[in-house]
Structure 1
Amino acid sequence: DLQTTGADHSATVNPDQQLIMTKHSATVTPENKCVFPFNYRGYRYYDCTRTDSFYRWCSLTGTYSGSWKYCAATDYAKCAFPFVYRGQTYDRCTTDGSLFRISWCSVTPNYDHHGAWKYC
């Protein structure tokens, strides 16, 4: 895992899971649907996770309270277009900032603020 820190939060990038976890607080909850982002054990998840599990799962509430499900293909985070990265707006996946030139996108409208991304 790669560890980075920002002015008001820390983030862990796990390329194997293609998700970002950042410390924050939470909210929200439609039943039987994954809620993104969700908080679990002090981290904010913007996509399904394998944390504490062999299979990817998600919380059904904004702050994990025991309600969860295994993720189906339709549950994974979607790209958020347009999104802001380094002050520039992107309407599609980009390789900008990618060490290996692999296309990626933000899963929130503002990567600069949330740091949440996935491969395209």
Structure 2
Amino acid sequence: MGRPWCATTPNYDKDRLWRFCLSKAYGGNSNGQRCVFPFVYKSRRYHSCSNPGSKKGNFWCATTQNYNQDKLWSYCPDIILGGNAVGKSCVFPFVYNNRVYCTCTSDGESSGKLWCSTTRNYDVDKKWTYCSKRDYDKPCVFPFIYKNFKFLTCTNLAEASGKFWCSTTDNYDRDRRWTYCPT
């Protein structure tokens, strides 16, 4: 008892159909390896599970930082598909309780899980999704190496949206860890 469960239809009250929630990634072509966030798919960065290209509409994630390059993926565990904007990407910076956030936060979340707004202003739109704890709780590290160059500030190189980012280790080329920068 006490195991999390999920409805398997949009209206549990009407249909009474359910199953126990899956706590680990499953299926795909990488034997259910863990999700890696952010990941790149068709020149776009994703910060949460999404369903573009999914024939059944199931939410999936890349299991490496670059799906376009490696083509490895898994279906997402149910436990990270929370929020009311599942499949939408985090938007940074965002406003929550009149404060500006440039990374995911656990503020206001009783479980302590990290979340983000999927619009610029959560206070107005109330749209959110859970984040992966792996990268978002780390600050920028300066200087950092990217494409064999040393960066002393944030950059928007190779970022299709034009947003500025930084490495969360001293060498992005080696570690592939990053976060968006505060504006």
**Greater RCO, 1 or 2 (C-alpha within 8 Å, sep 6+):** 1
Q: TM class by shorter-chain length? A: 0.3 to 0.5
| Structure with higher strand content | 1
* Structure of greater Rg: 2
TM-score (norm 2): 0.32
